[in-house]
Amino acid sequence: MIKKILLFIAAALVIFLLFRYCEFKDDETTVIEETALIQQQIKNVGKLVVTEGHFAEVLTYKDRQKYFLNILSAEKKALVVVNADVTVSYELSKIEYDINEATKTITIKNIPKEEINISPDLKFYDVQQNGFNEFSGEDYNKINSTVKANLRKKIEKSSLKTNAQNRLLSELSKILILTNTMGWKLQYNGQQVNNESINEVLL
């Protein structure tokens, strides 16, 4: 009789351990599947996000050279009309992140900075110069640098960067939605990211 009871207890213990093992395996499998899904989502987000804009401006370029102990001078000047195509882009394939399966936490370690590309088209009008002070390659380089500096200031004041940031947030929010759905946490710079804080934390 005692032998039967011991066998029954042993059988029950084996069945219990098998159930616990199966539950552990199911949990482990679920975490692996969730991790793979998150990695795939980040890979899908990891694309080039580009926002395009067009800017125009007109500037006058002048340069005066003095000769003979500053007694004589020679001036050159031109009216420059600028039309520029500008792109603000984020290469999201460069996002660096870490996945902690134990705490179910995704930590974004680095978000790439925006890349601003300016492609100006310059047209010169009313060009005035003389033999003592003619336009050279150095002048065109100066004009090009001035144009790009002016355009960068305009870009900062325009909605182009804001629109680019909104597109960036739209892509990153896909990761947030997935992690929230699966009960995972998303962190960046030591702060947890949620629907309310995504703008302040990620930008």
- Run means of pLDDT, 10 residues per run, the chain, 203 residues: 52 45 49 76 78 92 72 80 93 88 89 91 87 81 90 90 88 85 86 80 71
pLDDT score of 79: 92
Query: What is the DSSP pairing of strand 105-110 with strand 185-188?
Result: parallel
Q: How many other C-beta atoms lie within 10 A of the C-beta of residue 113?
A: 9
pLDDT score of 201: 73
Q: How many other C-beta atoms lie within 10 A of the C-beta of residue 20?
A: 10
Q: Which of 162, 157, 148 is nearest to 118 (CA)?
A: 148
Q: How far apart are CA 187 and CA 192, in angstroms?
A: 4
pLDDT digits over 128-183, tens only? 887 777 888 888 899 899 999 999 999 988 899 889 988 888 888 888 888 888 88
Q: Which of 27, 67, 29, 196 is nearest to 186 (CA)?
A: 196
> In this structure, are residues 155 and 89 in contact, taking their beta carbons and an 8 Å threshold?
no
pLDDT score of 175: 86
Q: Which regions of the chain does DSSP assign to beta strands (E)?
A: 48-67, 72-91, 96-100, 105-110, 115-128, 185-188, 191-193
Look up the pTM and report it.
0.68
